[in-house]
Structure 1
């Protein structure tokens, strides 16, 4: 197909001041200092608490849920925040989750306490919530030392310059998401609109014999559309690889292994030529399954990168919320 005529949209997420403010606050908190407090004085205090499921008389339920957690006082529902004021380590309050927290906090708390996050019945269970530590998070001051710590060598001197750098990073994140979304559109355009003739009857019979357990004709019929799409994509991929000389070098697989290792370690930027990093990459190069998987992933990325250079997408501005909703509603299983 003529990719230049393929209709695709490049979504350009608008980075708002609110997004920059939120990220700035997150960084100030992350690099701030926790100062111990005698008692709870403010909604900004952080309290380490122990949740214990109790019965109507306040006694711990045998085998009930228990969990340590760390919460800002302001995460509690407004009606109960004032009840924490003045409380000290060792003191406790008893609430149901429905009394203590707003709806948006309850879902992750249910999950954290070992319930299903959709189990609304858990909201009516009473918990004794006892304080084990009280702290006040002192936000990191916005100064050149902080800017240099986060962005070494970038010579950022002012808060305005710092905000601009944060904006660049947020935009880069959303641009990468938008590129993935272009790849998704491209996949559908190629698979759905390129005529490829497949021997359907033969392939359905073949599907019945695959796997440990033979499949019925009905099961093969059900699986066939997804299988046909995957096969079509494989055939189209192989053609694009052959026609455009797309190759994967062993060194690229080593580099892929190193980058994966760094991401496992929280994205820490380390010297790539450290002996143990190279040893890890060489060890992975001996794992045939890993090499095949890495080869496939790098090749797929290169196919999309080449195909994207042939496109003439139309730009469309969109909010981060709308973009996220659109992507989530379209999650499915392919390539």
Structure 2
């Protein structure tokens, strides 16, 4: 057997593999004998089928299978032994001029294209500067959060006249272009949340309504063409909601208002446990801590995105783009040319970032241990379970769920990649200069 590699340029190469009969004959004969022992054919006792008969009937398919196995083993060994760092997988070069007889005397030659990984130079120093924001709750954001929490624990009332945050329980009837009822059109009784109405003029027309009042509503204008909200309101599909142009007559059946819960010990105990909070100041402090914790998760994500963007711009590398496009098409048969053209830039960015990550891990001997993957997976599952039950799952049961979760290869790979990314970002932050800056949330969101 002979294998050679021809370098086309720094990013592309071709591997040529030549296979002679002496390279495959023994493997093929052994496979034929094994098949003969297992074969169950009419006219022969099981396990007594002559090898010559198997060779005559199935010899060519066995030869093809053994040649493919030999190619795969040889190519992988060549790449490993020679430390060839490739992107994607080798692609066979199709050559219509080569015709094989597959008669057990052939000399085979196969060529494979390789996309070579570029050299990556990543040097993080104190000259790399980033800003880590300490996000504080501004008055309006905090007030809105407190209002939502109080409403979540409040009680429903039915005022006579509607206000901006109320819900109108109303019958909605589809109208024709001339304002008459559209025969056979949509007629549904549902709840119109006024806090979801984005158009101020339309919102004003819905404030001050009483039971049995009738007004006209432009649903597309009211909800800024949000097909999800419109579909739910009218009990129709989202595609139908997207294309809907009609206005509606609404007849108010009832006005519903969710009153805010009183700030008293009973309310505090429901939220935080008995005696944890005893007054309004303590309540406000707790909510402030909660929202600022969420804000600073956003700040961490922004810092990571800033690092990602900066390094993608500063670390110069080229990719074997032509090869990668061909590889993507070869491994995704349903991928259209338009999808490839639209998605390739994002694919290339993610690939470049992976190369940067791998270089940082290699240069700094960063290890990712199973215990870290297990711990992260357990945290994610714990957070997921808490969405459905406020009571924490017993530790031993959670650990068992985590072990089962990580047995799925896709789950394990996803959590591994998450831990890998976090460790790389931690290293970058330790090597770079991170400036701390306090900022109000309403100013922080303007930075995004």
Q: TM-score range by the shorter chain?
A: 0.7 to 0.9
8 Å CA contact retained: 1:254, 1:285: no
Q: Which residue of 1 aligns with 2:138?
A: 16
1-side partners of 2:339 and 2:144: how far apart? Answer: 50
Q: Which residue of 1 aligns with 2:204?
A: 78
Q: Which residue of 2 aligns with 1:175?
A: 296
Q: Which residue of 1 aligns with 2:432?
A: 311
Q: Deviations over 1:9-67 (max 9, x none)?
A: 223434222222111111111111224x4x62452654433423244575464242635
- State the shift of 1:316 in Å: 4.4
Larger radius of gyration: 2
8 Å CA contact retained: 1:11, 1:317: yes
Change (3 A) 1:69 1:248: farther
- Which one of 314, 335, 358 corresponds to residue 238 of structure 1? 358
2-side partners of 1:180 and 1:254: how far apart? Answer: 21
Q: Which residue of 1 aligns with 2:119?
A: none
1-side partners of 2:146 and 2:341: how far apart? Answer: 53
Please give the secondary structure, in 2, of the residue aligned with 1:142: coil
Change (3 A) 1:47 1:239: same
TM-score relative to the length of structure 1 = 0.74
- Which one of 126, 142, 155 corresponds to residue 33 of structure 1? 155
8 Å CA contact retained: 2:174, 2:182: yes
Matched, 1:166 2:292: no
2-side partners of 1:145 and 1:64: how far apart? Answer: 45
Please give the secondary structure, in 1, of the residue aligned with 2:282: helix
Change (3 A) 1:200 1:110: closer
Q: RCO greater where, 1 or 2, for CA within 8 Å and sep 6 or more?
A: 1
State the aligned residue count.
314
2-side partners of 1:311 and 1:210: how far apart? Answer: 39
Please give the secondary structure, in 1, of the residue aligned with 2:276: coil
TM-score relative to the length of structure 2 = 0.58
8 Å CA contact retained: 1:248, 1:299: no
- State the shift of 1:184 in Å: 0.7
8 Å CA contact retained: 1:237, 1:303: yes
Please give the secondary structure, in 2, of the residue aligned with 1:129: strand
Please give the secondary structure, in 2, of the residue aligned with 1:271: coil
Please give the secondary structure, in 2, of the residue aligned with 1:4: coil
2-side partners of 1:117 and 1:164: how far apart? Answer: 46
Mind listing any 5+ residue stretches in structure 2 that lack a counterpart? Answer: 1-122
Q: Which residue of 1 aligns with 2:218?
A: 97
Change (3 A) 1:226 1:47: closer
Which region of structure 1 is more displaced relative to structure 2, 223-232 or 20-29? 223-232
Q: Deviations over 1:238-277 (max 9, x none)?
A: 2333324331425744652563464366364432327765
Mind listing any 5+ residue stretches in structure 1 that lack a counterpart? Answer: 328-335
Q: Which residue of 2 aligns with 1:332?
A: none
